Amino acid sequence: MDGCIHITDLFRESGLKIGKLGRVVVDEFLRAESYPFIYAIGDNALAMNPRTGCPVPTAAQFALQQGRLVAENVHAAVVGGEMKPYFPKVWGEAVSLGRHLAAGWLALPFVKKITFVGFLGSLVKAAIEGKHLLLLRKESRNWTGR
């Protein structure tokens, strides 16, 4: 052993049910199984896609969706509102293939999906990254009260 405490060990020692790859098993509201006041999101959550029955991948687009939903569900729990179940939405994927190359696809309204590759792909990927940075900056203003 390397002498470090690993997050999976911490989860197990806390009594949380652990599933595949050391992820916390969650219900449809992203609450830890048997612990309704503990939520898990992102890479730490073993969320299941109710449409496919498969685990939701550990990707940023899903972690962002889960974070927003958990915030809404915690608020609903506190004020006595109705909690919403998690239904992941896949917007697309983009992968770098080099300095100025990328490949991927995007889901668009009224079109099943469009694919991109090469230099155009790198431009699309950069635009997606820029959009996420702007959204994070916008949301971070709410965290600090500015």
108-125 pLDDT per residue, tens = 777 778 888 888 888 888
Mean pLDDT of 62-74: 93
Mean pLDDT of 89-105: 85
Instruction: Report the chain's terminal Cα–Cα distance, integer Å.
Output: 45
**SS3 state of residue 113:** strand
**Can you give the pLDDT at residue 6?**
67
Q: In what order do the strands lie in the sheet with 101-108?
A: 92-98, 101-108, 111-118
How does pLDDT run across 1-31, given as a tens digit for each residue?
A: 566 666 667 777 778 888 878 899 999 999 9
**Can you give the pLDDT at residue 81?**
93
How far, rounded to the nearest angstrom, does the alpha carbon of residue 52 sit from its chain's CA centroid? 17
Question: Is the pLDDT confidence value at 87 over 90?
Answer: yes
Place of tokens 């896609």: 49
**Can you give the pLDDT at residue 3?**
62
CB contact set of 113 (below 8 Å; sequence gap of 6+): 92, 105, 106, 107
- Burial label, 45 (beta-carbon count in 10 A; 0-12, 13-18, 19+): buried
Which domains can be identified in the chain, with CATH numbers?
1-90 (3.50.50.60), 91-146 (no CATH)
